[in-house]
Amino acid sequence: MAVLLNKGRYRARLARSALDLAEAQRLRSLAFGTEDLDQDVFDSICAHILIEDMRAEGQLVCCFRMLAMEHGGEVGRSYSAQFYDLSTLEDFSGRMVEMGRFCIHPDWTDPDILRVAWGAMTAYVDHNKVEMLFGCSSFAGIETTEYLDAFAMLKHRHLGPSRWLPRVKAPDVFRFAARLRRRPDAKKAMLRMPPLLRTYLMMGGWVSDHAVVDRHMNTLHVFTGLEVRAIPSARKRLLRVVAS
C-alpha cells in the first residue's frame, strides 16, 4: 500500500524513508512558518502521507501524518493528549487514527490537492478498518477576535457529544462554548473556518467546547473528532470515488 492513489497530476503515497520524512518536515516548516525544522517525537511512530505533483517533477505539495491506535485505551499516547484531557475517549472500542501536521505548500492553491488528501485519508482509513478519525484543527494566530463568528458556529452546530467531549487540560484556553452569546453570521463563520476543519464538519465531524491557545505554533486549535459511521452515505460514496 505504498501508493495510496493517483489522481490526475497528483500522487498520494506513504513515506518510505528518512529522506521522505525529512522532505515532509521541510514542507511543514515552510507552511507553518517555523524557523527551525518542524519535527517532534511523534514523527517516528506515525505513518506519513505525501502528495506529489507529478507534473512538477514530483514536487511535494501536501503532507500529513497518521497515528494508528487499536482502541481508545491508547488515546493517551496521541499528540492531542498533550493539550486535551481525552479520558472520555478511553472506552471507544474501535480502531482510531489521529491525523496531524496537515499542510499544503503555500505556492500551490489547487483545490484538488485537498480532495486528493481526503481521498488518500479514505484509502488509509478503509484499509486499516478505522472507526474514528481525530486531531487538532488549527486557526492561524492566537487572537480570537477575528474568529468569533466561526467559534459561535462551532458552539451552535458542531459541539461533540457529551460522552466523547474532551475536558480542559491546557493552561491557556478559550472557552468559546461557555463565553460566546452571539448568533453566528453563517457567511463570516465559513469564511474564517480553516479548510481542513470545514471538511471535517461537512462529513459530520464535531469539536471540543474550548480552543487551546498554542503560542509555540502560533495557532488556536480545537479538538476535532469524526466517527466514520456518522459520515453521510452520499459523502462516503464521493470520498471512495476519489480514493478509487
Cα(6)–Cα(4) distance, rounded to whole angstroms? 7
The band of 240, judged by pLDDT with boundaries at 50, 70 and 90, is confident
Residue 224 burial by Cβ neighbours in a 10 Å radius (0-12, 13-18, 19+): buried
The band of 236, judged by pLDDT with boundaries at 50, 70 and 90, is confident
Please give the average per-residue pLDDT across 139-155, as a whole number.
Answer: 96
Region of residue 50 (left: phi > 0; alpha: psi -120 to 50; beta: else): beta
pLDDT for position 2: 83
Please give the average per-residue pLDDT across 215-241, as a whole number.
Answer: 90
- Domain locations in the chain as residue ranges: 3-243
pLDDT for position 3: 84
In 3D space, the residue among 55, 56, 80, 58 whose CA is nearest the CA of residue 69 turns out to be: 80
Across all residues in the chain, what is the average pLDDT?
94
Please give the average per-residue pLDDT across 121-145, as a whole number.
Answer: 94
What cell was used for 159? 459541539
pLDDT for position 1: 54
Residue with cell 493517551: 76
State yes or no: pLDDT of 237 exceeds 90: no
In 3D space, the residue among 71, 87, 86, 80 whose CA is nearest the CA of residue 129 turns out to be: 71
Q: What is the torsional sign of CA 226, 232, 234, 240?
A: positive
State yes or no: pLDDT of 136 exceeds 90: yes
Cα(37)–Cα(29) distance, rounded to whole angstroms? 6
Contact 150, 197 (CB under 8 A): no
Please give the average per-residue pLDDT across 167-171, as a whole number.
Answer: 97
pLDDT for position 239: 79
For the segment 55-89, what is each residue's pLDDT rounded down to a tens digit?
Answer: 999 999 999 999 999 999 999 999 999 999 999 99
State yes or no: pLDDT of 243 exceeds 80: no
- Is residue 155 helix, strand or coil? helix
pTM score, two decimals? 0.93
Determine whether domain 3-243 maps to CATH 3.90.1310.10. no
The band of 233, judged by pLDDT with boundaries at 50, 70 and 90, is confident
pLDDT for position 159: 98
Of residues 217 and 134, which shows the higher confidence score? 134
Please give the average per-residue pLDDT across 22-31, as a whole number.
Answer: 97
